[in-house]
Structure 1
Amino acid sequence: MTTVKEKEMIQEQFKVRMNEDELLNCMRCGFCLPACPTYIESGYKESHSPRGRIALMKAVVDGLIEPDEDFERSLNLCLGCVACETVCPSGVKYGHMLEEARDIVSQNKKYSLPTSIVRKTVFEGLFPHPNRMKNVTGLIGFYQRSGLQSIARKIGFLGILPEHLALMEKVLPEVATMKEMKNRPVHVEPIGKQTHRVAFFSGCLMDSMFMKTNDATIKLLQLAGCEIVIPEDQTCCGALHGHYGEKGGSKDLAKRNIKAFEDLNVDFIITNAGGCGAFLLGYDHMLKNDPIWSERAKKFTDKIQDVSEILVSVNFHKRVKLELSSQIITYQDSCHLRNVMKTASAPRLLLQSIKGAEYVEMKDADRCCGSAGIYNIIESEMSMKMLDYKMEQAKDTQAATIVTANPGCLLQMKVGIEKEGLSNKMRGIHIVDLLLEAVKQ
């Protein structure tokens, strides 16, 4: 529970740090309401809408309400999908305000000892250190290959976990070996005539748990004629820190990444995870008031591009024959890829170019699936409501393959497939893995 002293400190910091012009920019028109998943799933509760949350932030700044548990709950229940920004006629930067508000609350309250330990371990001890991420992921790989996974399932050990976590364990990708994870390429030549020289942001989870998807991405870029540079000293994008009240940590990671990429003389910095790409794209805003880093951040963000965009720009779907066995495929948007990076048509164009496959658009494909980083772990009830809705729309397409462009979305949709008992009829796959599967050379 937040103490009186902590509430006073939070309130004071809201007055100092929140951008009042942005708070006042919200006209309370309500265009954001039908775009907000938590507003819909909460039974149209105003405090769980973007408009309502902004009103609560303004009320804290004005001293009309205290930043109590109900206020914090409203902030925490938000997915941060920023679908509201895409429909806002005033251009309110809700996502920036949400991150600032969460950071103020987080930095001015005392967490319980277990929560403090977990936060310190995750935000300071794990994600900023790529080798540690690989070591932890390696333990998952050992669990999968050693027979422990089979034993745990046979004796019903996973039954002690909440249903959504047990399902998540079931759909984890097959993890590469430690040797494979630590023997990564740093420079790859193009196949055929060169089109671009690019850098690849390999990420932390993507280059460990989803390493095979990174390998597929590199292969596609090669086939697209790209010379690829993969800096060894890059690190986590900082999205988890930024979204969960550790803004200082995300700034440190941003500076490390900018430094790692800035002297490579590349045309683009390519990403294959919507959440990472969107956060990288926000480095210039995050560091705009830093006299040393603001210009360097702007040059960095100007080069960020999703892999689907560069593939379309070089006519990959015409350079390479794409073909699959007869099947219906559909696409689930990554919220941040669509709403922040503004990439929606490129993935669809690539999927529609695959011979033998029929593309069927899913209703509300742009509505959040409920993954949202670690939201599906810490807010499982709301997350599962969103997933249930999403699976209804996916089933209506009669698709055998659900395609995503973000690792969190991919795991969430795989959980949905398992939850619905459809694993023998339907699969979830990252778009680059499907495209490589479709390449006929």
Structure 2
Amino acid sequence: MMDAKEKERIQNNFKEKMDYEEILNCTRCGFCLPSCPTYIETDKDEVHSPRGRIALMKGLVDGDIEPSEEVKRSIDLCLGCRACETACPSGVNFGHLLEQARDAIYQTNEKSLPEKVVRNVAFHHLFPHQNRMIGLTGLLGMYQRSGLQRVARSIGVMNLFPETMRTMEKVLPEVPKKKEMKQRPRHYAPLKKQTKKVAFFSGCLMDTVFKTTNDATTKLLQYAGCEIVVPELQGCCGALHGHSGEREQAKEMAKRNIAAFEDAGVDYIITNAGGCGAFLVDYGYLLKDDPVWQERAAAFAAKIKDVTSILVALDFHNMPLQLDEQIVTYQDSCHLKNGQKTFMEPRQLLESIEGVTYVEMHDASRCCGSAGIYNIVESEMAMQILDHKMEQAKKTNAKTIVTANPGCLLQMKLGIEREGLADEMEAVHIVDLLLRAYEGGREKMRFEEMDSGGHAGA
């Protein structure tokens, strides 16, 4: 329970940190309500709707209500998917308000000792340091390759963990060896006539747990004619910090990334993770009040481009792409769609693959329930949302569910496992599927050329 001093600190923080003009932009029209997963899943409880949360924020700033566990719960339960932003006729930047509100709460809130330790380790001693991320991922790789994973499962150790974490352990990708993670090339030459020079934002989890997807991304960019540089001093984008009430730490991480890319001399900075990309695009807002960094942040943000966008711009969808015949559907990354405004490009690429029948999933842009670490800290709500998503996925009869964000990818793998569909359905990051398709198309062309040459010779 909050004591009087803590309530006062939180209230003062809200008055200091919240963008009151943005709050007043909300006209409470209700257009956001059908787009909000938590509003729907709580039987249309206004406290868990976007306009309800904004009303609570305004009440705290105005002094009409006091901070309470109920208010904190409403802010915590929000996925931060920003679907309300695309539905809002007034253009309210709810994502900014949510980050400010969590910052106001968590930089004041009295935390338990375990919570303090976990947040301190994760936010200050792990994610900002890529070498430590590599070290931790290396331990996970040893667990997977040494036989410990098999032993842990066989003797029932995993049964000590909650169901969601047990299933998540099953669907984690096989991670690379520590040596492989440390040998990241810093320059890639194009594999055809050069079209663009780009920098690649490799990320933290993407360049460790999902390194194979990063490798597929650079390969696709090379095939599309890009020269690629990968700045060594870049690090975690800071999205997890920004979304979890650690805005000051997020700002420091943003400055580090801006400085790392400033002298790269590139046309674009390419990302392959919807959540990272949306936060990188927002660096200009994050640092808007910093006179030293605001222009540099805006220049950095202006160069961010999702890999699907640049592939379409470079006509990759007109290259020979081939897969075995299958039905494919697509699950939008909330932040790719709502933050980076990238919606049609992934679909255009998928529809261009020979052998693929693309079927649009109903509510494809509704959040899958991953939302960073939401599916761990708010497991019950996340699983409710995932169950709805899997109902829609099954109706497409798809063999392959494609997405463009690591959290979404794991969440869809989790859904497939929970539904017992692992033998008939898979979840794939779009760049991994496109690389398969490109290599399949090249193989088909080789066979056709050989066949053509044989007939000519005859």
Letter in 2 for 1:297: A
Aligned equivalents of 1:25, 1:176: Cα separation in 2: 47
Letter in 2 for 1:328: I
Whether 1:31 aligns to 2:31 is: yes
Letter in 2 for 1:400: K
Letter in 2 for 1:334: S
Letter in 1 for 2:406: P
1:91-130 to structure 2, matched below 5 A, reads 91-130=91-130
1:233-312 to structure 2, matched below 5 A, reads 233-312=233-312
User: 2:445 — aligned with what?
Assistant: none
Identity across the alignment (%): 65
Aligned equivalents of 1:142, 1:302: Cα separation in 2: 40
**Residue 79 of structure 1: how far off its partner (Å):** 0.2
User: 1:70 — aligned with what?
Assistant: 70
Letter in 2 for 1:271: T
Letter in 2 for 1:329: V
Letter in 2 for 1:360: V
**Residue 110 of structure 1: how far off its partner (Å):** 1.8
Aligned equivalents of 1:45, 1:201: Cα separation in 2: 39
1:32-431 to structure 2, matched below 5 A, reads 32-318=32-318, 320-431=319-430
Q: CA RMSD for the aligned pairs?
A: 0.6
User: Any idea what the Cα deviations from partners look like across 1:123-173, whole Å, max 9, x if unmatched?
Assistant: 000000001001001111000000000111111211111111111000000
| SS, match of residue 66 in structure 2 | coil
Aligned equivalents of 1:283, 1:226: Cα separation in 2: 25
User: 2:451 — aligned with what?
Assistant: none
Letter in 2 for 1:348: R
| SS, match of residue 321 in structure 1 | coil
Letter in 2 for 1:116: K
**Residue 6 of structure 1: how far off its partner (Å):** 1.1
Aligned equivalents of 1:17, 1:419: Cα separation in 2: 41
Aligned equivalents of 1:80, 1:10: Cα separation in 2: 21
Aligned equivalents of 1:14, 1:205: Cα separation in 2: 32
User: Any idea what the Cα deviations from partners look like across 1:247-296, whole Å, max 9, x if unmatched?
Assistant: 01100000000000011110000000000000000000010010000000
User: 2:448 — aligned with what?
Assistant: none
Aligned equivalents of 2:283, 2:229: Cα separation in 1: 21
Aligned equivalents of 2:206, 2:137: Cα separation in 1: 11
Letter in 2 for 1:201: F
Aligned equivalents of 1:20, 1:233: Cα separation in 2: 36
**Residue 178 of structure 1: how far off its partner (Å):** 0.6
- Greater Rg by CA: 2
User: 2:446 — aligned with what?
Assistant: none
Aligned equivalents of 2:410, 2:272: Cα separation in 1: 15
- List alignment gaps of at least 5 residues for structure 1: none
Aligned equivalents of 2:40, 2:241: Cα separation in 1: 27
User: Any idea what the Cα deviations from partners look like across 1:31-89, whole Å, max 9, x if unmatched?
Assistant: 00000000000110000000000000111111111111000000000000000000101
| SS, match of residue 228 in structure 2 | strand
Aligned equivalents of 1:83, 1:2: Cα separation in 2: 31
Aligned residues: 440
Aligned equivalents of 2:124, 2:276: Cα separation in 1: 18
Aligned equivalents of 1:267, 1:435: Cα separation in 2: 23
Letter in 2 for 1:222: Q
User: Any idea what the Cα deviations from partners look like across 1:195-253, whole Å, max 9, x if unmatched?
Assistant: 00000000000000000000000000000000000001000000000000000110000
**Residue 93 of structure 1: how far off its partner (Å):** 0.9
User: 2:437 — aligned with what?
Assistant: 438
**Residue 17 of structure 1: how far off its partner (Å):** 2.1
With structure 1 as the length reference, what TM-score do the two structures score?
Answer: 0.99
Aligned equivalents of 2:130, 2:373: Cα separation in 1: 19
